[in-house]
A = this chain, B = another copy of it.
């Protein structure tokens, strides 16, 4: 084979020589130019200086986000126009209302699934698993990219009917691009170094994903850190901030160039009164809102996890999901779109509004109740962009009725929508849902105290929009177990006056869900059975008392350093581990290193041939025992039998370990993998 290679090389050289003769007018200039280009490449693509990549990542994601928003808004306008043009015929209007989302959702499912099954869902749970150190090969390949972009555009074009968002898929898209760009970089020797660079880029990519959706650089970084990682290195901060700022800046810049806005401002700009945003006693109602959001969040997380499991268990749905995913999506879309038809139940669900309009209307700085007392509530055939709240008004039902109905209906409709196997984000709907809860509480408070709370004569009316802001942050924070949604709400609306009530609300809501339920992403990880290390909660103080000895796997196969063919063969056939511990000698059992399976197989091959080979071939083959023939890798990290579960867990998370050997006075006595660790943590929560 080596001869063939040599010939090929020569042929290559000859070809180059021939090409050289064909056209080469300015040899010196060319050499200088090529030299400079090479130097430029070396300068730009050094492993240390990766801000070019971060810049490119931010700009690319901003372009994709803007283009997608643009396309989606055109599609939604087309649908709205169609609804108007159809005029008198109710049946036709109904058909056009339902066919549009059904077709889009079915296409999205079919297209994405036909390319790769990894493109469904939000993608954050899988990315979280990857960032915890597990390798999911297929997940970051660039072929997912097209599937996710096209699928997501269709999903979003189905509008508020399907009630789905784009944050999660954008995080996924962004990390795909980061992984792809990462390959361009000059790589250094060393597995560890490349991995750590890759990890750094993925963390930055997640930040870009969030920030290009909301135009929010700071909370993009913080939210992605909170949701994705268990640990965060400060030296990664600037990476995330830089990339996220580039992304957010270009994203908002494009909106200005497209004449949507005069200058760079927030995505969901609000105009609350900043001189007196809220009165002191209102903190009490904000706290109540926090409790409400926390409790609804718990109920939602429980139902969501249950339904996701039920759909997989139930024979009908599991069969549909296995063989005919588009059909399942179409059926769900039919049910949901029939309910949201604006001339039946949809009129109480503000279903003519897009997701963005829903959020803008909920953050309105006026009091709907006061408005609805003073104006006619006749619904025009067109949505009035300056009075979006009219969609929520109903003479009989009142705004309280529509808000409550919206909350109840969207609760189960959204849970149903999350079971669809197509690219879709679940953060934005949660955010809107929380805003509706907040608005309902805020309008109620405004009804109770029409003149404001303070009794000293000055009228400071209550702003229900502030409650909507707090509700959105608290509910989305509770569901995702994160605090930085508070900041996201401020960055997205461009106002920060409500900071203390909002963060109070978020903390209270978080206290409930963190105590009672796993987060939305952890829940999905559990249901999808992804390899993941559960968190030890700080109140599980028993984790300090359980020692490694009690949960390690003592059943390990070791190889002595002087192992020969027979020993290696015996061990390698007995299990299919990827690496084996090497001990000093069989008696002492002192751990000296590990050896990889391919090394052992190579050892067996050469050894085998050695026995069978003729005397002349023998010289080319390696000799000696394991210690001489294989490269033994050092063990930098080992647990002792006295290491507590808490400490072991902490180290596994910190160092992204998959496996660690347990030693006692240098002797190897067992091993701990994520499986044993997981079981030990579960036993802690449910003691026998």
Contacts and interface: CB of A to CB of B under 8 A. Distances in A.
Contacts of A232: 231-234
Interface stretch (A25-33, A100-108, A661-669): A661-669
Contact of A503 (B241, B541, B544): B241
Interface in A252-272: 252-253, 256, 262-266, 271
Interface in A574-629: 584, 588, 590-593
B46 A539 contact: yes
B230 A231 contact: no
Nearest to A456: B262
Contact of A245 (B248, B504, B537): B504
A494 interface: yes
A277 B249 contact: no
A235 interface: yes
A47 B283 CA distance: 30
Interface size class on chain A is 35 or more
A206 B156 CA distance: 43
B539 A49 contact: yes
Interface string A653-688: 011000000011111000000000000000000000
Interface stretch (A144-152, A295-303, A368-376, A482-490): A482-490
A640 B636 contact: yes
A500 interface: yes
Interface string A196-219: 100000000000000000000110
Contact of A499 (B218, B277, B650): B218
Interface stretch (A75-83, A185-193, A338-346, A414-422): A185-193
Contacts of A667: 592
Interface in A275-297: 275-280, 283
Interface stretch (A392-400, A428-436, A550-558, A641-649): A641-649
Given A252-B500, A664-B634, A544 B280 contact: no
B265 A277 contact: yes
Copies of this subunit: 2
Given A500-B245, A538-B235, A590 B666 contact: yes
Interface in A144-183: none
Contacts of A390: none
Interface in A525-578: 535, 537-541, 544-545, 561
A667 B588 CA distance: 14
A635 B226 CA distance: 32
Contacts of A238: 483, 507, 510, 514
A71 interface: no
A503 B217 contact: yes
A192 B483 contact: no
A640 B274 CA distance: 60
A267 to B, nearest CB: 11
A667 to B, nearest CB: 8
Interface string A490-522: 110011110110011001001000100000000
Contacts of A347: none
A614 B503 CA distance: 73
A225 interface: yes
A249 B193 contact: no
Contact of A486 (B218, B231, B249): B218
A679 to B, nearest CB: 21
Nearest to A269: B274
B500 A248 contact: yes
A276 to B, nearest CB: 6
A457 interface: no
A483 B237 contact: yes
B252 A279 contact: no
A234 B242 contact: no
Nearest to A544: B193
A73 interface: no
A642 B634 contact: yes
A596 to B, nearest CB: 15
A290 to B, nearest CB: 12
Nearest to A667: B592
A447 interface: no
Contacts of A50: 538
Of all A-B residue pairs in the complex, the 3 with the closest CB atoms, nearest first, are A634-B640, A48-B539, A592-B666
11 contacts: A50-B538, A188-B545, A196-B650, A217-B499, A218-B486, A225-B234, A232-B232, A242-B507, A274-B274, A490-B496, A636-B638
Given A231-B654, A584-B666, A636-B639, 16 more contacts: A47-B544, A49-B539, A50-B538, A232-B234, A241-B507, A245-B503, A249-B504, A262-B276, A271-B275, A491-B496, A494-B496, A494-B499, A592-B665, A593-B665, A634-B640, A636-B637
Interface of A: 46-50, 188-190, 192-193, 196, 217-218, 222, 225-226, 229-235, 237-238, 241-242, 245, 248-249, 252-253, 256, 262-266, 271, 274-280, 283, 483-484, 486-487, 490-491, 494-497, 499-500, 503-504, 507, 510, 514, 535, 537-541, 544-545, 561, 584, 588, 590-593, 632, 634-644, 646-647, 650-651, 654-655, 663-667
